[in-house]
Structures are given as C-alpha cells and as structure tokens.
Amino acid sequence: MTAYTTLGLYIDGRFIEADEGRVSEPVLDPANGGTLATLPHATRAELEEAVAAAARAFARWRTTSPLERSGILRRAAALLRERMDRLCTTMTLEQGKPLAEARGEWTHACEILEWCAEEGRRVYGRIVPSRSFGLEHLVLTEPVGPAAVFTPWNFPALTPARKLAAGLAAGCTVILKASEETPGSAVEIVRALHDAGLPAGCAQLVFGVPSEVSEQLIAAPAIRKVSFTGSTAVGRKLMKLAAEGPKRTTMELGGNAPVLIFADADYDRTVKTLATGKFRNAGQVCVSPARFFVHESLIDRFTDDIVRHVEALQVGSGLAEGSVMGPLANSRRVEAMERFVADAEARGGTIRVGGLRHGNAGNFFRPTVVSGLEGDALLFSEECFGPILPVAPFATVEEAIAKANAVAAGLAGYAFTSSIENAQAAMHRVRTGMVGINTLAISTPETPFGGVGESGHGSEGGVEGLQAYLDTKLVSLA
C-alpha cells in the first residue's frame, strides 16, 4: 500500500488520531474505491475547545510582529517543499488528479504561503490630510479575529493554503474544516505549520458532519470571520448563519465559465490551450472553461479538432505514468456526468466522443465533447464540474456576450481573439470576477481570485486576499 498521510484533528497544538469509540469515517481512493484511512470526527466539546483556543491564541497572535509571523509561514512552506514527494502521493490518492497536477498544486500552495509571508509585512495604514492643523486622521488596519474557514475536495491543498496563509499573515487565528473526502493534504499543511513553530491555537483543523460543524463554529461568538469555498447552495446556507452574527464573509462559490472563441483567434494555440485546460483536474475546477461558444465560421473545424485532441487523452490512475486525467473525486460527480449526458441526448445533442464511464472500477468518466445543444440544455445552464465540453455557435459579438452572461454565476470568463475590439468586449461586458483573454492562467498568489453574482463575493489572493482578514479603524487625534 502506498504511503498515505496519517490523519488527525489538530486542536490547540495537539494532533488527535482516530481511536475506538470515536465517530469516524473512511477516506476512499477514487481510483478504485478502496479505503485509504479512517478520519476522526471532532466532538461538540472539541469544537468548543477549538474556538476557545483560537480566541486565546488571537490575543497573542494579533500582537506578534509581522516579521515573526512571516518567518513561521516561510518555514512552513520550506517544510512542505522538503516533503513534496509524499504530499503529491497523498493528494493523488485522496483526490485522483495525476501526480504532475498534484505537484503543480502543492507548488502553488507553497508560493501562497511565501507570498502571504511577505505581504503580511506590508499591511500599511494611511494618513488622511485633515481639515485643521493639529488634527490627525490615521487609517489603521486590525485583524478581524478568529476565523472559521471551510474548504472543498477539488483543490485539497490550494484552498486551505489560501485561507490559512492570508488569515495568519493578517494576524487572525484560523479554524479550518477541510473536506472530509480529501483530508490528508490539509493535515500536511497544519503539520508543517506546527513543525515551523506556529503557537498552539493559531491554526486548527477539524472534521465532522459538515452542516453540524459549520453551524456550531459560525454560531460561536468568538468567531468573527467566515470564509467558504464550495457550491452556491452551501454558500447561501453559511451566509445565513453568518448573518446572525453578523460576521464578515468571503464566499468563493461555483462558476460556469463561458469561453468565446472569435473568428480571429490564434486558432492552433486556442485549440491546444482549451483541449488541455478543460480536462485539468477532470474539469472539477470552479474556473474551468465550461460553456464553449464558437464563431459559426469556425465551429465545425474547432469541434473536429477538439475531438481529435480529446481522443488522445490518456485516462487512468493519477499514480500511473502517462495519465493526464484521473478519476473524478467522488461517485456523486460520475452520477452528475451521467445526468448531464442524458439531458444532452434527450435534447437532441450529439455526443461526439466519450459520454460514458471508463473501466469498471473507480470514478472514471471519459472526456466528453457534445455539440448541437441550445442554451436551455443543462450543460449550458448548470455548472457541470466535470470532463464534459459542450460547443455551440454564435454569429455576432452581441450574441456571444449575451450567451456568456446568460447564467447567474459569474466567476471566470474567457475569450480567444486577436482583435482589441473583441478583447475589450469580453473585458468590459462579460459579467464575471475574472476574465482570461487568450489564456486560462488566471490564478496566481499575487492576483485576486473571486466572483460576482451567484459565484459569491470577496477575493482570495493578492492584497485583496489579506484585506479580507482585516478591519479598518479610523483614529482622529487632536
């Protein structure tokens, strides 16, 4: 059996492993359905203890110098880099993505810790000129307080790293409830923080029944900030719970990214970028290109070429050499793909390639291309979050923009074109928090990441990501 991380909760500086008598759940390998490990759940009393420890630790951490905080985050990143091989295996085992993608994600997670370590040292205030001499207006920032943060299974290291690094760098303490389906990567991050000398209570990790944990943590008076990445449906519930506080929220919810491929696009580069980018993490990416609108003069050629690329994609265990697409992360996603395909067929769409499960063990689904659908098909209205690529034609820029904006989600949007006019149309008129023009590379530690509309609010990454954990205080001094 390949080494998988030893799982545990992490509360007030102590790791707590599963033992007899404790409620726990199995963690499954999506490539074969086997059990990787047993994950302990936190009891209500332990969640209370985690909140109390976060509140105690906050009193010290908020006054710890940014330089000292920076050193701890940097050391944690260095430890993760040293442990990289083991971390990649753990991520691939629990989530399914190929090892090369796991390495890319862990590297990104380390870079986030390093970037926040530095940016935390540059949380500047402002002096506003006053209306009379001798009166000073100082704009200060202060950490919001203990934060409860919730992360999903598609990026088991990146999403916890974003919330932990920004919160800790800003001077907040953080209780993380990571996905119970991919807990090992989160355990590795808190272990690295622990080994790097993070004081007890500053970062904690809990697992349990998601709705029970989130209700208890968000209701706790000491918790001042809530950050969630996941579906819009769950985001709505957590916002309602946070409204009782009221508590500040950052919501990074589902997307349904439009891709506009104009007639003047750099054709070969566009096909290559999209044929590989769409199937990264088997399409289980909130900014994954989802709804493909292609200029009518190109659509037949584009569809044929994409199908050729897709036919060559090697699907298999993420641990196997040569696999470029692993299994879906859980069986719910496979069932969802079957629902999208059935709807497409019922509406007269053509399954150009794929459309079926792959093999007879694990959560594999074939990379799929569908043509001949209208806007009311599920693939054009609901987030698919999987390896299905639907294509439809457009004739004018107006039509392309209208199709792009036809859903309530607004996370990412993409356009491929060589003309300034089309680029400007996409840049200014596609209603999303992020726009990629001739690129899918829109996520870096130093740039803001977030959506509008049903995709949520607030940003992670960039200076905006730190601001999300800071309150503004005005001091007027006479």
Give the residues lining the site for ligand NAD (CB under 6 A).
Answer: 150, 152-154, 179, 210-211, 214, 229-231, 233-234, 237-238, 252-254, 286, 332, 383, 385
- Report in angstroms how near the CB of residue 173 gets to ligand NAD at its nearest: 19
- Is the separation of the CB atoms in 222 and 39 below 8 Å? no
Rounded Cα distance, 30 and 89, in Å:
13
Q: Categorise residue 249: left if φ over 0, alpha if ψ from -120 to 50, beta otherwise.
A: beta
Residue number, 72 or 190, with CB nearest to ligand NAD: 190
User: On the CB side of 230, how many CA atoms lie within 13 Å of its CA?
Assistant: 21
Residue number, 242 or 299, with CB nearest to ligand NAD: 242
User: Residue 121, Cα to own-chain centre: how many angstroms?
Assistant: 25
- Report in angstroms how near the CB of residue 456 gets to ligand NAD at its nearest: 8
Residue number, 66 or 210, with CB nearest to ligand NAD: 210
CA angle at residue 430 from 307 to 461, to 5 degrees? 90
- Report in angstroms how near the CB of residue 473 gets to ligand NAD at its nearest: 30
Rounded Cα distance, 249 and 141, in Å:
17
User: On the CB side of 19, how many CA atoms lie within 13 Å of its CA?
Assistant: 5
- Report in angstroms how near the CB of residue 264 gets to ligand NAD at its nearest: 32
- A 10 A CB-CB count for 14 gives 13
Q: Is 286 a catalytic residue?
A: yes
Torsional sign, CA 224, 228, 233, 234: negative
Residue number, 143 or 456, with CB nearest to ligand NAD: 456
Residue number, 179 or 417, with CB nearest to ligand NAD: 179
- Choice among 49, 252, 454, 460 that is catalytic: 252
- Is the separation of the CB atoms in 152 and 43 below 8 Å? no
Residue number, 27 or 234, with CB nearest to ligand NAD: 234
Rounded Cα distance, 102 and 108, in Å:
10
- Report in angstroms how near the CB of residue 310 gets to ligand NAD at its nearest: 21
- Report in angstroms how near the CB of residue 134 gets to ligand NAD at its nearest: 51
- Report in angstroms how near the CB of residue 329 gets to ligand NAD at its nearest: 8
29: tokens are 């390998």
Residue number, 86 or 237, with CB nearest to ligand NAD: 237
- Choice among 180, 286, 383, 384 that is catalytic: 286
Question: Each residue of 33-67: b (16+ CB within 10 Å) or e?
Answer: eeebbebbbbeeebbebbbbbbbbbbeebeeeebe
Rounded Cα distance, 344 and 347, in Å:
5
451: tokens are 């959506």
Helix axes 158-170, 66-82, angle to 10 degrees: 160
Residue number, 101 or 305, with CB nearest to ligand NAD: 101
- A 10 A CB-CB count for 98 gives 25
- Report in angstroms how near the CB of residue 275 gets to ligand NAD at its nearest: 22
- 3-state SS assignment for residue 265: coil
Query: Active-site residues: which are they?
Result: 252, 286
